[in-house]
A and B are shown apart, each in its own frame.
Chain A
Amino acid sequence: AQSVAQPEDQVNVAEGNPLTVKCTYSVSGNPYLFWYVQYPNRGLQFLLKYITGDNLVKGSYGFEAEFNKSQTSFHLKKPSALVSDSALYFCAVRRRGGATNKLIFGTGTLLAVQP
């Protein structure tokens, strides 16, 4: 079965420090990988995606993510956290091909950046 794991319910980091939000997946083949961010009472905003090529993907708001095929991980990173980065972050995967293109979401990680 396909699955996505975000092992941390919450990540706390001080402003200016680097941040990492972890994501691992279990999907056959080489999946498409996505990160979304959700601010309170808002929809999910697309941050970045991995399709193919360079394992380091750069996205919106200074975020990047590193695809590691051997560890089946797609961790979200940012070199210097901002208080405004505080939000709920979702990792998602979608299998290439197949009968449908359904996206499988992780349970989300709340990022709290302290001033």
Chain B
Amino acid sequence: DGGITQSPKYLFRKEGQNVTLSCEQNLNHDAMYWYRQDPGQGLRLIYYSQIVNDFQKGDIAEGYSVSREKKESFPLTVTSAQKNPTAFYLCATQGGTENTIYFGEGSWLTVV
């Protein structure tokens, strides 16, 4: 959605490097999420944050880290401990009266 900006769209990482994916939103939503999508597969939850300065591990948090210092921003760091990081990463926010989840355009991370 237009209110969620993910950058960069494409990122290449060398073995042993940490990389950070940016997610910024102007929807004034409290909750933010990071999902991983492998080609031809569904979504898996990495981390989520219900409010500023708080975040929780999802189903596949190992090798990833996040921060939530501002309401608008929820960056995801893919560390060298993540052994298979090549994937499509999706950031999402949650808000509205029925707490609908809205997604950014995604970021491709490839290990070279």
Contacts and interface: CB of A to CB of B under 8 A. Distances in A.
Q: Is the interface of B mostly helix, strand, loop or mixed?
A: strand
Contacts of B31: 101
A22 interface: no
28 contacts: A32-B98, A36-B103, A41-B88, A41-B108, A42-B106, A43-B1, A43-B4, A43-B6, A43-B105, A43-B106, A44-B92, A45-B103, A46-B1, A46-B100, A49-B98, A51-B98, A90-B42, A92-B101, A94-B99, A100-B48, A100-B56, A101-B31, A102-B45, A105-B42, A105-B43, A106-B42, A107-B41, A108-B41
Chain A contact-residue range equals 20 to 34
A103 interface: yes
B99 A101 contact: yes
B101 to A, nearest CB: 5
Contacts of B102: 46
Contacts of A36: 103
Interface of B: 1, 4, 6, 31, 41-43, 45, 48, 50, 56, 88, 90, 92, 94, 98-106, 108
Contacts of B41: 107-108
A82 B88 CA distance: 27
Contacts of B1: 43, 45-46
